[in-house]
Amino acid sequence: MYEPLESYRQYREYQDQRDAEYAENQQAIGEAVTTERYAALSEAYHSPVATKTTLRAQVGKFRNDVYKSLVAEAVSIVASCAVKAVKDSDAFDYSRESAILGQLAKSWVEEQSMYDVQSKMNSTVILSSFDCACKKYTDIIVEKATKKIDKGSEDKNYIFEIEDDDRENFYKELDAVNADELVYTIRNRVSDASQSFLNDYVKDKLEIKSIMQDTKNTVDALKSTLPGATPTNDAMDDGIPSASEYDPYTFHNPEETTPAVETPTTESVEESYMNIAKRKIHKIMNKPCMSIYEAMVLNLSTAAYKNKALTEEFVTENAKLDTDAVRTRAGVMYTWLETLNTSGLENVTEEYLKNTLEEIKNL
């Protein structure tokens, strides 16, 4: 026979064990229900077919996305009207360059908060006119989406779309805004920067060509005075392209070197004067003051040899840089920068320019 105290102790142990098992089962059931509910909600949110409640919850985000996309369209159209100012070669393709401007505009808008976009779009009279069109068609597009939900549609792709007629009407609204003065100002600034760059480019190319030719003539003359030396008319081939093929932005920017002092020989004379020529070219290629346009060309040229996609686009099969294509693309980027600056959408400070150039170099 059990003693009363011992029986009670065994009973409590048994009850404690049952309570622990019950609590564990309840926790497992609760976790399973929570997981299943979360999975159901997640599936409803991400699938093409969703519930009314879930769809209505997404209208706010859709409104922000629509407004930002329309702002990007409006600003890229202004830039596209000005980009023709950089047309200086067969490498220019208006439809392609306009598409690139569209991507730049989209990337810029996505980096802004809604507050910043709305604030910047109301900073000038012209931008405010564009903003009115953006807000008007945002309301129209969102209202259509809301009506589709109220009517019972559950197809997200159908509900959250911008219909072609709304987009066309939006473009007509933009056309009604008189932005000629803004476009002409941007175009003139881009044209001036492009022409200034081309002038400096030709000047640098001729100066480098002169350095190379003068160096060759000097070396040939000195080599002919050395014992056993035979004058030559061949172009120097110590890593510098021949003068007829030279282009400043295909040159790999040699570092300065100091010519070694040694007993004059044919090889030492040639090396010494070649090093002098390289130092002169290095100074030309690394000017203390450089225009933004030129810096863009140089940084894009550098990126073309590092970025696989850019290499395929700008470097030919024989490993030469397509300088016309590089200059055109740099011109498009400069047009976008000038659009932000002239319109007042960005305060293009020295720091802003520095970051922009660094981004191009590290593409």
Residue 183: per-residue pLDDT: 94
- Cα–Cα distance for residue pair 299/320, rounded to 1 Å: 16
Tell which residue, 347, 219, 199, 344, has the closest CA to residue 274. 219
Q: Three-state DSSP class for 244?
A: helix
Residue 109 CA to residue 102 CA, distance in Å, equals 11
pLDDT per residue rounded down to tens, the chain (363 residues): 444 445 555 656 656 676 666 667 667 666 665 666 556 555 555 555 557 888 889 999 999 999 999 999 999 999 999 998 887 667 778 888 999 999 999 999 999 999 999 999 999 999 999 999 999 999 999 999 999 999 888 888 899 999 999 999 999 999 999 999 999 999 999 999 989 988 888 888 888 888 888 888 888 887 777 655 554 544 444 444 454 455 666 554 545 555 554 556 777 777 888 888 888 888 877 777 788 999 999 899 999 988 889 999 999 888 889 988 899 999 999 999 999 999 999 999 999 999 999 999 888
Token output for 345: 């959408």
Compute the distance between CA of residue 310 and CA of residue 34 in angstroms, rounded to an integer.
49
Cα within 13 Å of Cα(14), Cβ side: 6
- Per-residue model confidence (pLDDT) at position 276: 85
pLDDT at 52: 83
Cα–Cα distance list, 290 to 68, 255, 293, 297 (Å): 35, 19, 8, 11
**What token pair was written down for 145?**
């989406």
Kindly list the distances between the CA atom of residue 69 and the CA atoms of 40, 81, 105, 312, 348, in Å, as whole numbers in the listed order.
31, 19, 9, 30, 23
Structure confidence at residue 54 (pLDDT) = 87
**CA 142 centroid distance within chain:** 30
Beta carbons of 248 and 204 less than 8 angstroms apart: yes
pLDDT tens digits along 224-268: 776 555 545 444 444 444 544 556 665 545 455 555 545 567 777
168/165 Cα distance (integer angstroms): 5
Q: How far apart are CA 214 and CA 273, in angstroms?
A: 10
Minimal CA–CA distance to 69: which of 102, 32, 101, 39? 102
Q: Which pTM was predicted?
A: 0.72
